[in-house]
Structure 1
Amino acid sequence: MGTLMTFELLHTVPEAPVAHLLLAHGAGAPMDSEFMDVMARLLVERNIGVVRFEFPYMQQRRHGGSKRPPDRQPVLLEAWRQVVEQCSHLDNVFIGGKSMGGRMASLIADEMPVKGCVCLGYPFHPPAKPEKTRTEHLRALAAPTLIVQGTRDALGKREEVEQYDLSRAIGLCWLEDGDHDFKPRVRSGLTQQQHLISAADAVADFISGQR
């Protein structure tokens, strides 16, 4: 194990949780962003406890440091390992996150003592670079995994993702006209709130199916 890190955990837990989801933030927003707050509340309403944390670079931002880019992947993965260890007393643990946080979770899901993985807006490739896919490990992923994705996500549109060779352990939930934050265009007649509710329903169904 690398350098021991201390994580401030944000617990949003119902009275009798059926499972716990350790939820990591995306590259640019903290663990208490509006997206993360809403998802945590919706999942708690479905009796799923949510435990949030921040990667080291985001912790430093919060405590007065300058705005820094995300840590390198080895640091992010080690953070995940230590958070899972810190939460080892919890039952029925799943890991996941928004965008980068979910991608990092998927990279370690097979080595961790967890029930499965949840990715909310998976960054299949960098913006405007569809040729640089981040899917190699997803071909052999064994941990049950749910990816919730907007159909027009700039980091992985439906027509792109459907061409990828993904593990059979991965299930996809598509949110019509949703972007990377699940926000649809006004002309679609849909709302981001509707999509967030649909995402929470999909996560709850997925978790129920793995326990």
Structure 2
Amino acid sequence: MPASFIYNQPETPRCSGTLLLAHGAGAPMDSPFMDLLAQGVAKAGLKVARFEFPYMAVRREDGRKRPPNPMPVLLEAFRDAYNTCRADNDGPVYVAGKSMGGRVASMLADELKAGGLVCFGYPFHPPGKPEKTRVEHLRDIATPALIIQGSRDPFGKPDDVSGYALGSQVAMHWLETGDHDFKPLKASGQTQLALISQAVQACVRFISHPGSA
């Protein structure tokens, strides 16, 4: 199934290229979170292309919830989306994703020779199981990478992540009191929109100078 994209175009481009953004396991490419994120990145000056994995595209057609495709299918769908995006757009393509989408992007960044990698809420481990890590490929990754993570994310909190041997190309940006969807504690005085805005700014700064991560 060929990828179908939602594009968010910047009014004033500040970065060349396109951010290829994949959704997480449970919500589609046009979920409220993905809309806010993509619109924010485009407003900050970088083009965004969103696409859906096959299981989510089928769900859009019949309305039935289903689990994600097996990882080989997710990887191939991302490859296809990347190749299409690169052929249809000028400049470099940066791979990115929310949660599961970020994990898939991170597994392909080197193979695809992406301009950079951005993960929004990386699933370092299943909730409550920090010993079951998903970081092996991040130890030797050559692509400049930025992981933007809420400090309350059950898929990877600061104490968990500090114990992982991440590669020198991987930079972390923590969103104080944010959860997996960047929702903060009410007592923090922050809002989800404010944390998404912080994530957007961190992403665009990184894309502007990916080698500095």
Same fold (TM over 0.5): yes
The TM-score, its normalising length taken from structure 2, stands at 0.94
Alignment of 1:62-77 (within 5 A): 62-64=60-62, 66-77=64-75
1:26-41 superposed matches below 5 A: 26-41=24-39
Task: Specify the SS of the correspondent of 1:29.
Answer: coil
Measured against aligned partners, the alpha-carbon deviations of 1:156-178 in whole angstroms (never above 9, x if no partner) come to: 00111011100010011000011
5+ residue gaps, structure 1, are none
Using a 3 Å threshold, how does the CA distance of structure 1 residues 65 and 187 change in structure 2: closer, same or farther?
closer
Matches of 2:40 and 2:117 in 1, distance apart?
18
Greater than 6 Å deviation, 4+ residue runs:
none
Q: Is residue 15 of structure 2 the alignment partner of residue 10 of structure 1?
A: no
CA contact 2:11–2:43 (8 Å) conserved in 1? no
Matched, 1:106 2:102: no
Query: What's the CA shift for 1:16?
Result: 5.2
**TM-score, normalising length from structure 1?**
0.95
3-state secondary structure, aligned to 2:38: helix
Aligned partner letter, 2:132: K
Structure-to-structure mapping, 1:107-186, within 5 angstroms = 107-186=107-186
1:62 aligned counterpart, secondary structure: helix
Deviation larger for 119-128 or 63-72: 63-72
CA distance in 2, matches of 1:193, 1:82: 31
Q: Pick the aligned partner of 1:51 from 49, 57, 63.
A: 49
1:113 CA drift (Å): 3.1
State the one-letter code of the partner of 2:162.
E
Tell me the SS of whatever aligns to 1:87: helix
Q: CA shift at 1:128, angstroms? A: 1.6
CA RMSD of aligned residues (A): 1.2
